[in-house]
Amino acid sequence: MAKDKDLDTLDAVELVSQLNDAKEELFNLRFQRVTGQLDNTARIGQVRRQVARIMTAIRAREIAEAKAQ
């Protein structure tokens, strides 16, 4: 799981890639939960927070770029 400090060092393409991976994992976890195959239900919350962290990092960069102009 990427921490905030790790997200700051990544470029925009890597952040979007990680966001897509996390969203795909979240989809798979939800699917497993519905079919009764999910063992660790806490993982859903962890991945949701990971998605939120990545989206926050992307938005912070957008705001910083807008202020720089």
Tens digits of residue pLDDT in 14-50: 999 999 999 999 999 999 999 999 999 999 999 999 9
Counting every residue written for the chain, the total comes to: 69
Q: How many CB atoms lie within 10 A of CB 21?
A: 14
Q: Is the pTM of this model over 0.85?
A: yes
- pLDDT confidence of 7, banded at 50, 70, 90? confident
Task: Please name the CATH architecture into which domain 4-68 falls.
Answer: Orthogonal Bundle (1.10)
Asked if 53 and 4 count as a contact pair (C-beta separation under 8 A), the reply is yes
25-28 contacts, C-beta under 8 A, 24 or more apart: 26/51
